[in-house]
Structure 1
Amino acid sequence: MATWQLQEAKAKFSEVIDTAKKKGPQIITQRGVKTAVIQSFEEWEQSQQQEKRTLLEVLQSGPYIEIPLPPRGQMRHRKPVKF
């Protein structure tokens, strides 16, 4: 990945786009801080398709945690608050 300063990327925007198509994502920096990435539409679209998951897939991919629950009807309830 090549890095471009913002001023240079503005001046050579077409070149930045062409390079992103040919060589992959291009990093844009602003005052020395990485701020943005320019990448080809095809590459972006592929990354979006890979990240789409159903809620069930997201939940199943998480860690399995056993939550101890008291038997039904044996939970203590708080007394109602009187106003």
Structure 2
Amino acid sequence: MKSKKTDRLPHDREWQLQEAKNRLSQVIKLAQHDGPQTITLRGKPSAVVVSFDEYRKLTVPRTGLAKFFKESPLRDVELDLSRSADISREVEL
């Protein structure tokens, strides 16, 4: 197992495919306890093993904008969205 500095998090580990196959149990245990495990193919990152809990966090549907506003605690607040009728405003530079 070797670590490599790239765009991955500091706790990511990098495994060559053959080594990951030979040590799959260890790769899975490390994914569960230490974070994502990167598997390389011909020296390039090819796949990532993550714990099931992490996978669920990554795949939870995100709230849409309309639903977000409907569920907002400020949904009943009245806002004055009218635009000023002034032609111009003086700005001091």
Equivalent residue for 1:54? Answer: 64
> What's the RMSD between the two structures over aligned residues?
1.6
Gaps of 5+ in 2: 1-11, 68-93
Q: TM-score when scaled to structure 2?
A: 0.55
Q: Does 1:12 align with 2:33?
A: no
Structure 1: segments with no counterpart, 5+ residues: 58-83
Identity %: 43
Listed one character per residue, the Cα deviations across residues 17-42 of structure 1 (whole Å, up to 9, x for unaligned) are 00000100000000001000000000
TM-score normalised by the chain length of structure 1: 0.61
Amino acid at match of 1:34: P
Instruction: Give the superposition deviation at 1:53.
Output: 3.4
Count of residue pairs brought into register by the alignment: 56
Equivalent residue letter for 1:3: E
- If each structure's helix is expressed as a fraction of its own residues, which one has the higher value? 1
**SS of the counterpart of 1:52?**
coil
